[in-house]
Amino acid sequence: MSERSYIPFVLPNELPARCAVAAEQLPVLFVFASDEAARAGAPSHNPACLKWQTYLKMAAIDFLLHPSNNHASPPAPSLSSSPLSDRHPFLQTLHLRRHQRPTPAVPARAETYLSLLDSALRPAYLHALYLDPRNDPLLTSLYLDPNLPGPSPPPSPPPSAPPPRKRSSPPPDAPTLFDAAVFAYTNMLLDESLAWGDPRLPNSVREFDALVRHRERILAKYWPGLIRD
């Protein structure tokens, strides 16, 4: 029996196009932010997004930001390759290997603190922000602004690609993913520009000098533009 061939009378729709990103070799981090904040490289008001923003800065990885929704950052960073690296998958890995600064592994002791962060501080933060009506104005300004997020143009690439950094072993006291995770919450709670209607949780965190100093160190080294006189 001869093999039949069929000609479709109706062509299927094309697959959805990926989000437009700059045709550069830099990876793109999708974060919860406005178009303007993403273009400026401002910190996200979503702690999960801010954690990965900070960690990539610690690793000295050059990346672009693209605004996304409030669920942009899963447990791992939502990094997307560029259209160029879609055609050449090795470019994404090559860029990260060439430009990242090695960061030390999270100490075993810090794993305990990470579980405390997830089981205590995070629920307290979510309860204060989402369930306490006194914080409704802050919640609205951070997460319910109709301008957040919306369709946006591709992120603007930097004027020129920086030269590859020389990789070296991290110093013993170099910050880790744990530091980025802690900073993601302490910065939201201690940022004086955020008006907490119920200040009990921020005030509780402020009582721990080590947490205050830790945030100040991370700000000074990786977010100097956020320091207010």
Domain-located, residue 97: yes
Higher pLDDT, 180 or 160: 180
What residues make up the domain containing 149? Answer: 28-226
In this structure, of 68-77, 94-103, 157-166, the range with the lowest mean pLDDT score is 157-166
Domain-located, residue 22: no
Q: What average pLDDT does the chain have?
A: 74
Average pLDDT value for residue range 25-46: 87
Phi, psi of 31 (to 5 degrees): -135, 160
- Residue 52: count of CB within 10 angstroms of its CB: 27
Domain-located, residue 10: no
Domain-located, residue 115: yes
CB-based contact 180:208 (threshold 8 Å):
no
Domain-located, residue 139: yes
Report the alpha-carbon distance of residue 5 to residue 158 in Å, rounded.
51
Buried b (16+ CB within 10 A) or exposed e, 146-164: eebbeebebbebeeeeeee
Confidence of residue 86 (pLDDT cuts 50, 70, 90): very low
Q: How many structural domains does the chain have?
A: 1
- Interval 125-168: pLDDT, tens: 999 999 999 999 999 998 876 554 443 444 444 444 444 444 44
Average pLDDT value for residue range 193-219: 95
Indicate the pTM of the whole model: 0.70
Domain-located, residue 13: no
